[in-house]
Structure 1
Amino acid sequence: MNTVVTSLLTQPREVERLVAGQPTSDGAGVKLNRVLTQNLQRRLDPFLMLDAFGTDNPDDYIAGFPDHPHRGFETITYMLNGRMRHRDSAGHEGLISDGGVQWMTAGRGVIHSETPEQNEGRMAGFQLWLNLPAKDKMREPWYRDIASSEVPEFEQGGAKVRVIAGASHGVAGAVQREHTEPLYLDVRLAPGARFEQPLPLEFNAFVYVYEGALKYDGGCLQPAGRMAILANAPGSDGVRLQAGDAPAKALLIAGRPLGEPIAQYGPFVMNTEAELVQAVRDFQAGRLA
């Protein structure tokens, strides 16, 4: 039975296309699904990458991500299950566990490691890369560990929503950003339940289903493991998510595009090739934080 919710939208966004992602490994062999890949960075500006990982096999995650550099963007790690220890060259250290988030601003540069603090059980979660505006790419590194209890939540008409960033239905998220204004929601729907989120037309937005399936106006069915890129059609005022006959869980992510050049070389994301060359030189010379 569908849960009745008063509609907030007059013209929900349609699904432009579904993306399956690419199975790959990173770090010292951690298996993951790279959903938002480099060829989608322009389309989904200001977002650069989304990795999803989830396994009960310790061999798939135990080696973790040894020391590696970053410059020019932010990383947001959201753990569904498991424990991950973070250390970086700026002296920061923290542990995130079930339902927790680490938000790291690499800025001018940082070397960090991400190491599982378990050798059995399930490890599952996501890492999202969020671009920085040109004026902030060389800012001081910053990070914050956010425990699960610190992530604001609300319930509405069969939907339970965790607000990691931005704001939804009057609930402010754990993190706010001025220029990219990211919205990062974990939406969990009971069978047949519906959730609506207003979105500015200029925002780029996508949905990643990690359990169950979602239905959209127009008949599109989005199964687990797929990302739906939402169209920026004239007149669209938000997104409507609806579960089918089974529960569904999904990430809804949106943000204001920067509209700036993107130059990437591995863990460095700048605006020009010259800045990338300098980033590599700084790393080789030990000048990252």
Structure 2
Amino acid sequence: MDSEFARYRRGHRRGTAGELVMAYVTEQFAELRTADAGVRRDADGAVHDMRVASRRLGSALKIFRPVLDGKHTDAIRGELRWIGHSLGGARDSEVLHARLRGALSEDGRDTARDAAAERVNTQFGERSERAKRVLRGDLDSQRYFMLLDALDELVHSPPLTEAAASRADRILPQRVGKAYRQMRRLHDRAGAAGTGEEREALLHEVRKAAKRARYASEALVPAVGKDAKRFAAAMEGVQEVIGEYRDSVIAGETLIGLAVQAQEAGEDTFEIGRLAGLEEARSAAAAAAYDTAWRAASKKKLRRWMRG
């Protein structure tokens, strides 16, 4: 069965802002509920899908706030951040474990590599199980069920503002433009940051801002067309290169901790050290790639449609 947003895509571009935003919100709520069932069955990829749906919903409620009354939606955004944090704990552990496990399997097997793999699998098996227990508890909580009720009410009785009656392609592009400007300010601050830690924290904020701009732009594709799709792709490029940088930094720091544990246990730390060196090289490559991705994403021609 087609979603409301899919039906909107086949419609004309003169739909209202309220129609587009609510079609998108309705679709993402359906995605969240589908992924919820998958998480409870421990289906592959379900945690990732549910995390993305929660982020898309939160981004829509933030960026399209002039269309949906914030007095009704701000509390929902807060609860989406809460469940997103719980999903993130489980997902981040999965991603890091898979990254390290894959690196250890690249060059065949020997005794030192097997010992390193056993330590990685033990460490992350325990970490993943703890994160999943927390997530399962949150999904079974009254707080989460109240969030679902609030989202259901939002979909069926949306608190639309007067602006919701305006044409989507006239007022919503400006909201994406505002999201881009917020991201650019964060990028400038990261460039002027005095310490590595400060810069990394700001780059993380740039990545989150790029996601918001990307999600909002993707939501506008039915009203705007290829221009919104091209901008979303550019934002995804920025998001992905910062994600690779952060993943490599976190993996490197994790490996250093594992090396200390292995050394204390009298184990050979060569393989773990090799992986740490590999992650250092990856983070340097990602940092260099960020400049290229940013130049591509900040071209003025990508934003001409945002004037509405």
TM-score by length of structure 2 reads 0.27
Q: Higher helix fraction: Structure 1 or Structure 2? A: 2
Report the TM-score when normalising by structure 1: 0.28
